Structure 1
Amino acid sequence: MSLEYETRQQNSALATLKQRAAPPTLTDQKPNVLYTMPVQTVERLEEVLQQTLALQKTIQASMAALATKESLEPLATAEQLHQWLEQTQALNQKTHRAMGEILSEMREEHKRDGRQRDEFTRELSEIRTTFQKDTQEAIASLRRWIPFIVMSSAAAAVPVCILMWQMLT
């Protein structure tokens, strides 16, 4: 019964992952590697797991038949074991190929993310350089205008002070 509950719980988690529209934001992420994988990768993993579970159920059902007296004939038992081994070997090869493809896709995605991060860093560096240049130019311009601003302020302040002095006296 607990295996059935765990399977339902895993299927609901996979269904939730499939329904997401985009990768989760940092605040939405849960500490689960499935949340960081593309939906196609999760679906392929799910497919491999379902095939493994189907083979396991087939073997369990066949084992129940082996437990009867009629099925204890050596040829039938050897034939069934041979079929199981062939199915298991085929599934293992398929799983190995699928896992290799998934790993390759994950490596490619990691490279792509690295390139995007490098491009973003380069753009930020260019923006920073431009900002520094513009700031230095603005400061230099302000330094050139400081004497004029001070003289203009003084020139404007003198008549105002004279007018105020005349009004007070």
Structure 2
Amino acid sequence: MLEEINQRLPSLEAVVRPIHDSNDALVAVEGHINRVVGPAATMLEVFDVIHGLENSLLSDPMNDLPGYLSVLKCLKVALRFLSDNCGLTIQWLEDIIEYLEDNRVADGIHRSRELQNDRKRVHLDGGLLDVALDKLENEFRRLLTEHSVPLPMSSPSLGE
């Protein structure tokens, strides 16, 4: 999921970059563009935070289980934020690109079609979260094995 987001957002930036100066159509949409840039930048910042969690989540939870669980919780919150907001932000960006394309404000907008096709192929597969949860499950099994005491077996009484 993170790799796909990382690949799609720069292509949006590249599509919007060649906008010409001082065009009536651009002036009409300038406020809308400014309002979308903030959420798009926030998506990238959250993506960077997730990237920063990778080393911790790919480490062995045995070294610091409470810390590992805390980082895993941060990942969960960040992924929820992205899944709740990324689609809408991308839709807003695509709408602006479509407006710019319809009003011939930008060159090279044909890439927006490529972006829309990429969006259809995207799905959330868990990625880092799956790896982190697998590591956590393995640590849980190790802790259970290490701290389990076998139950005493009583021998059945013969003749009772």
TM bucket by the smaller chain? 0.3 to 0.5
TM-score (norm 2): 0.37
TM-score (norm 1): 0.35
Larger Rg: 1
